[in-house]
Structure 1
Amino acid sequence: MSQPLGRPDRPRGHEREIHSLDEFDAALGARGSLRGHRIQSVDLTDRTFALLAASTADAVFLGCAMAPEAAAKVRADGALVFPPVPDLPFDPYRSRLYSPGELYEGIAGQPYEETPDARSYTWFQRTRADGDIFSSMLRSLHDDAISDALDEALAGARVVGVMGGHAMVRGGTEYAGAARLGRSLSRAGLTVATGGGPGAMEAANLGAYAAPLPDAALDEALELLAKAPSFTPSVTDWARAAFEVRARWPRGGDSAGIPTWFYGHEPPNAFASRIGKYFANATREDGLLARSTAGVVFLPGAAGTVQEIFDNATPNYYASRGAPAPMVLVDRAHWTTRLPAWPLLATLAEGRPMAARIALVDSIDEAPQALERLAAAE
C-alpha cells in the first residue's frame, strides 16, 4: 500500500526530483529509499545493485537508462518507468536547460546543419506535419521539462525581458546600443532574458555576457562579431564568430535565452548562458513574458515584437498577475509612426494602474532609467 502524503520519508516538491547520479546517491544515503522520488534523465546502468536493494514504490523514472533486471524490479515495486526514446536528436525528459555548447556541439568542425540544434529542427519539421500523436507527446514532454527547468533556474531572480527583432545586424549602432542595454541591466543586478535568437536578442545577451568584463571587452567583441554580420546566408560563420568571442573571454556573465524551433530559420544565440528552447512558440512566448517579473524593454521590431507587447499588456490590463510589470518601448518614431503600437497601448492604459507602469523613450540609453522609474511607481 502506498504511504500517505506527509510521511517523513516521503519528500515534497523539488526535494523529490533527482537530476544526477550524485543526487541519486545522496537520496539513497539519506533515506535508504527512493519512495516518491522523480528521477529525471539519469543513466542508472551502473546503479543496478542499488535499485535492486532500494524501495522504489511510488517513484517515477523519466528517461533513465537501466539494466533490464533493474527496470523489471522497480516496475514490480509499483514505480512508473518512462524509458529513453531511441534515435531522437533531443532528450524529451531533460532535467536542465541547454547550454550554447550543447546546442552547437561540433560547430567548430562541421556545418551548423549537423549540430543538435539543427537536427532537432529537422525532426520537428518532419513530425509536426504527420499528425503522429507520439511525436506530439514527445514535444509536449520536452517543453514541460524545459518549463520546469526554467522555474528552477530563475527562482528568486529579478528578471527583465528584452524584446526585439532578429533583423538587427552585428556591426550596427543599434546592435551596439542593445548590447550596452544588456550590460547596464545586468550590472544593475537584473537577470536579462530574451527570446534567445539573433539580432536585438543576441545583442542584449551579449551585453549581459560582457557585464563582469572590462568595458573595453564589449567594444572588442563587437568588432569580432562584425565579421559575420548576420545569420544569413551562413549560420555556421555567424555561430563560429560568437564562439570565438566566448573563447576570447570565457568567464562571461549570466543571462537567459528562450528561443523556439517553431522559427527554425532563427538559430539560438551563443551568449545566453542558460537556454530554454521550446517546440511550441505560444508556450515559449507566454513563459518568457510571465517570467519577466522586473519588467520588459521592447526594442524596435516587427510582427513578433508587436505581438509580445500586447501579450504582455493583457495581464497588465487585467492585473491577472498582480501589480502591472513595467513596460518600456524604445524608439519613439518606430512605435508611434512606423508601427504605432504606443498610441493603442497608452489608450488601453488610461485610468488603470498600468498607466503608471508604461513608458516610451527615444533611445536605448534611456531605457534603464525609465525601467527603474516605472518600478518605483505606485
Structure 2
Amino acid sequence: MPPGATEEIESLEEFDRVVSATGSLAGHRVQSVDLTARTAVLLAVDTSGTVFLGCPMEREAAAKVRADGALVFPPVPHLPFDPYRGTLYRPEELYEGLEKGYGNTPDALAYAWFERTRADGDVVASMLRGIHDDAVSDALDELLVGERVVGVMGGHGLRRDAPEYAGAARLGRALARSGLMVATGGGPGAMEAANLGAYAAPFEDGMLDRALADLRGVPGFTPSVGAWAATALAVRAARPDGGPSLSVPTWFYGHEPSNAFAGHIAKYFANAIREDGLLSRADAGVVFLPGAAGTVQEIFGDATPNFYGSRGEPRPMVLVGRAHWTSALPAWPLLEALAEGRPMARRIALVDTVEEVPAALTRLAGHAGH
C-alpha cells in the first residue's frame, strides 16, 4: 500500500494483519469490527486520522484513540441491523431465527423498524438508513471487482409451480455457467428463479429439477413467508456449495421477502438507490422477463442512460416474451422508437423464449463500438 493510502479494515483478521505489518492504524477506516479484545493494541499504536465505524471498544481505548485524533462513530444500540456493516448480507443472516416465525428474523425486524421510523419522520433514523445504504454500496463495489454482471428482471408474482419459473431458473443457470454474475432485484418470483438457477449452476442438471420439485410444495410467499423461505433454505442445506449470485432487494417493498438463493444480498432501505445501483452495475446487459409495473420501470430506467450515453457505450437489453412486451404491456415498440437512429438501437433485442437469451446477449455485445 503506497504511503498515505487508506485501507478499509472489515474483520478482526484484517485488523491484526495491518497492525502486524505496519505497527500503525493511522489513516485507516475500521468498519464494524469488535475491538473490545484489542485494548492493549489500541493503546499502543498510532490511530491519528483513523475512522472507527461502529466498532465496540473499551472506554479506555475509546478515550485514547479520540485523543490521537481518530474519529469514532459508536455502535448504535437497539437496532435490528448494523448501519456500518462491511459486507453484504447472506440469506442465513437475514433469516436467522426463522424457526420461531418470520416476524422474529432480522429481515422482518428491520422492515418493522423501517416502517415505524419512516412514519415518525425521525431524522436520526433517516441518517442511519443513509449510512447503512452507503455501507452496502461500498461492500457491493468490493464484491463486484473483476466480475461481469448480467441483470435479470421480472415479476415477483410468478409462482414456483409455473413453467415460466422453471424457465427463469434455467436461464439463471445458463448465464452463470457462461461466467457471468447473475444479479436480480432479490425478491420472489422470477427473481428467485434466476438466483436459484445460478445456485444450481455448479451441479449436475438433475439438481435443478429436484429443487424445482421441492419448491413447488410452497408455490408462493403468501400466506406464509416462513414456509416459503424454509423450503428454499432446505434446498440450500441439502446442497450447500451452490454457485454465487447477487440480489439487490429493498425494505421499501418489505412485504416482498428476500429470496434465499443469492449468496450475496445487497439489501437497501432506499429503493431509488437500489434500482439505480442494480442497473448501473449490470455491465454485461440486462434481461427483462415478463413483469408488470416494476419491470416496466426497470426497462426504462435502463433505457434512459443507454439513450443519453451517460454510462458510455450502451449496454445490451433483452426483452423476453414477444406477446407480453408488444401486446399485453407494449414496452417494446416504445423502446424501439427511443432507440431509432441511436447507438442503443444495436443493443436491444426482443426474443420469445429464455433459451434465446444467451445468444442474444452475445450478439448484442458484439455490436459494441460498431
Q: Give the structure-1-normalised TM-score.
A: 0.96
SS at structure 1 position matched to 2:100:
coil
Match of 2:107 among 114, 117, 120: 117
| CA offset digits 1:146-176 (Å, max 9, x no partner) | 0000000011100000000100000110000
Aligned to 1:11: 5
What's the offset of the Cα at 1:198?
Answer: 0.3
SS at structure 1 position matched to 2:30:
strand
| CA offset digits 1:270-327 (Å, max 9, x no partner) | 0000000000000000000000000000000000000000000000001111110000
SS at structure 2 position matched to 1:297:
strand
* Aligned amino acid, residue 350 of structure 1: E
- Whether 2:330 is the aligned partner of 1:340: answer yes
Equivalent positions of 1:319-358 (< 5 A) are 319-358=309-348
What's the offset of the Cα at 1:11?
Answer: 2.5
Structure-1 separation of matches of 2:365 and 2:167: 22
Aligned to 1:369: 359
Aligned to 2:25: 34
Aligned to 1:3: none
- Further displaced range: 20-29 or 45-54: 20-29
Structure-1 separation of matches of 2:286 and 2:331: 15
Structure-2 separation of matches of 1:137 and 1:53: 33
Aligned to 1:249: 239
Structure-2 separation of matches of 1:219 and 1:376: 33
- Whether 2:261 is the aligned partner of 1:271: answer yes
Structure-2 separation of matches of 1:369 and 1:233: 38
* Aligned amino acid, residue 185 of structure 2: G
Aligned to 1:140: 130
Structure-1 separation of matches of 2:67 and 2:230: 50
* Aligned amino acid, residue 72 of structure 1: A
SS at structure 2 position matched to 1:128:
helix
- Whether 2:40 is the aligned partner of 1:49: answer yes
What's the offset of the Cα at 1:53?
Answer: 0.4
Aligned to 2:140: 150
- Whether 2:157 is the aligned partner of 1:176: answer no
SS at structure 1 position matched to 2:318:
strand
Match of 1:258 among 236, 240, 248: 248
The count of residues paired between Structure 1 and Structure 2 equals: 368
- Whether 2:155 is the aligned partner of 1:161: answer no
Structure-2 separation of matches of 1:77 and 1:264: 42
Equivalent positions of 1:181-200 (< 5 A) are 181-200=171-190
What's the offset of the Cα at 1:336?
Answer: 0.6
Structure-2 separation of matches of 1:172 and 1:132: 43
* Aligned amino acid, residue 152 of structure 1: E
| CA offset digits 1:83-122 (Å, max 9, x no partner) | 0000000000000000000000021x21111100000000
Consecutive unaligned residues of structure 1, counting only runs of 5 or more, are 1-5
| CA offset digits 1:214-235 (Å, max 9, x no partner) | 0000000000000000000100
Match of 1:67 among 52, 58, 63: 58
- Whether 2:84 is the aligned partner of 1:93: answer yes
SS at structure 1 position matched to 2:202:
coil
* Aligned amino acid, residue 341 of structure 1: A
* Aligned amino acid, residue 236 of structure 1: G
Identity of aligned residues (%): 69
SS at structure 2 position matched to 1:262:
helix
What's the offset of the Cα at 1:251?
Answer: 1.0
Aligned to 2:195: 205
* Aligned amino acid, residue 84 of structure 2: Y
What's the offset of the Cα at 1:7?
Answer: 7.3
Match of 1:131 among 117, 121, 141: 121
Structure-2 separation of matches of 1:367 and 1:233: 33
Structure-1 separation of matches of 2:238 and 2:18: 40
Structure-1 separation of matches of 2:152 and 2:301: 14
Aligned to 1:232: 222
Q: Give the structure-2-normalised TM-score.
A: 0.98
What's the offset of the Cα at 1:128?
Answer: 0.7
Structure-2 separation of matches of 1:251 and 1:17: 28
Structure-2 separation of matches of 1:230 and 1:368: 28
Structure-2 separation of matches of 1:278 and 1:253: 23
Structure-1 separation of matches of 2:144 and 2:323: 34
Structure-2 separation of matches of 1:66 and 1:119: 26
SS at structure 1 position matched to 2:235:
helix
SS at structure 2 position matched to 1:129:
helix
